[in-house]
């Protein structure tokens, strides 16, 4: 496995992180929430890029990075906080279903 990062890939990742961070900032501005820690917004941008690239590579089998296809990163960045709030609730409900009810009869 070779780990080669070329300049266009670095520029795409930087551009995508900016898009993801702007999506998150847009989400917070739309809901009139504070936007103070910009480092956290950049981390949400990295989160959006990670989800986008993993979907491209694992499910769609696309290995090229294309700037025209980068708009979903903005949408993922926009919904990243909503995703982060809903995932623990979904996992909790799923684990309760898997665990099942109490089978002891009284």
Structure tokens at 71: 């708009």
Domain assignment of residue 60, yes or no: yes
Report d(CA 70, CA 15) in Å as an integer. Answer: 9
Q: What is the pLDDT of residue 3?
A: 62
Q: What is the pLDDT of residue 59?
A: 86
Place of tokens 């109490």: 102
Domain assignment of residue 69, yes or no: yes
Q: What is the pLDDT of residue 101?
A: 57
Domain assignment of residue 1, yes or no: no
Domain assignment of residue 14, yes or no: yes
Domain assignment of residue 71, yes or no: yes
Structure tokens at 24: 């998150």
Q: What is the pLDDT of residue 105?
A: 55
pTM score, two decimals? Answer: 0.67
User: Between the CA atoms of 51, 56, 58 and 63, what dihedral angle is there, to the nearest 10 degrees?
Assistant: -130
Q: State the 10-residue block means of pLDDT for the chain, 106 residues long.
A: 71 86 89 87 87 84 72 85 85 81 56
Structure tokens at 4: 């080669």
Structural domain count of the chain: 1
Query: Helices 71-78 and 38-54: crossing angle, nearest 10°?
Result: 120
Q: Which domain holds residue 70?
A: 7-99
Report d(CA 19, CA 75) in Å as an integer. Answer: 9
Q: What is the pLDDT of residue 14?
A: 87
């Amino acid at each position: 496995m070779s780990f080669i990062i070329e300049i266009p890939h670095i520029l795409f990742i930087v551009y995508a992180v900016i898009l993801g961070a702007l999506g998150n900032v847009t989400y917070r501005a739309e809901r009139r929430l504070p936007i103070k820690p910009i480092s956290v917004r950049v981390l949400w941008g990295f989160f959006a890029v990670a989800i986008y690239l993993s979907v491209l590579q694992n499910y769609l089998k696309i290995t090229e990075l294309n700037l025209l296809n980068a708009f979903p990163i903005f949408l993922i960045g926009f919904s990243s906080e909503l995703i982060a709030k809903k995932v623990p609730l979904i996992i909790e409900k799923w684990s309760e279903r898997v665990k099942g009810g109490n089978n002891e009869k009284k």
